Amino acid sequence: MNTYDLTGKTAVVTGAAQGLGLAIARRLAASGARIAGWDMNADACKAAMNDLPGDGPHAAMRCDVANWDSVTAALEETEKTVGTVDILVNSAGVAGPNAPVIDYDNDAFEQIVAINLTGTYFTNKAVVKGMRERGYGRICNIASIAGKEGNPNASAYSASKAGVIGFTKSLGKEMADVDVAVNCVTPAAARTPIFDQMKQEHIDYMLSKIPRGRFLEVDEAANMIVWLVSGENTFTTGATFDLSGGRATY
């Protein structure tokens, strides 16, 4: 495993209690970063942070990324207990129900967009002011291959993740005059608890579209992301990195 020196850096990872977020938190902590895990499930996140490698200190904060007051409160607590934020990996997200647009629940659509897209906006907005003032920062937003290609019966998820890609490109350009890199990744599906929100036929559809013939492993995603948020990434910003196992066509 390649190593990156993140000693002295504070990283916020949203959705850190499980799945992709937890794998990213572990990889960052193994590289020396202090981790602040932001998650709705505070107890599970605390247990996960207590089990991270490295000297820390690591901490968990209950955070609803779709609520601005909750995000700013989590940031304030992070700065007091862990340190000023050098790295943000925004991994919190939901898949939502599977249904055609004509039958889609309007409230569910709004909730998915609020968590996946507005949550990205809130978390990024909260940390970039300090990053700009300090002249350094690294952000990676977790989008999805669905944001590039659109999955049938997942219009809300696909639209929200397409929005994450566009938002990342915009913010990356805004911050390009300082050493703040803002990028995103577009993973194919990985076997995480988010599968519990999906119908089996939708899971089968996603697998059928991956030329590699298997789902993404969370550690594979973490390996790419740790470079994106390291000091070795000195030029790339506003970019979208493919993690789709060959599915992406652009």
Residues 6+ apart with CB under 8 A from 148: 162, 165, 186, 240, 244, 248, 249, 250
**DSSP character at residue 178:** T
Q: Is 250 a catalytic residue?
A: no
* Catalytic residue selected from 4, 104, 157, 250: 157
Query: Distance (Å, rounded) from C-alpha 90 to C-alpha 87?
Result: 10
Nearest 5 degrees, angle CA 230-CA 146-CA 95? Answer: 90
Alpha-carbon torsion, ordered 48, 50, 52, 57, to 10 deg: 130
Separation of CA 190 from chain center: 13
Query: Distance (Å, rounded) from C-alpha 221 to C-alpha 242?
Result: 10
Catalytic residues: 157
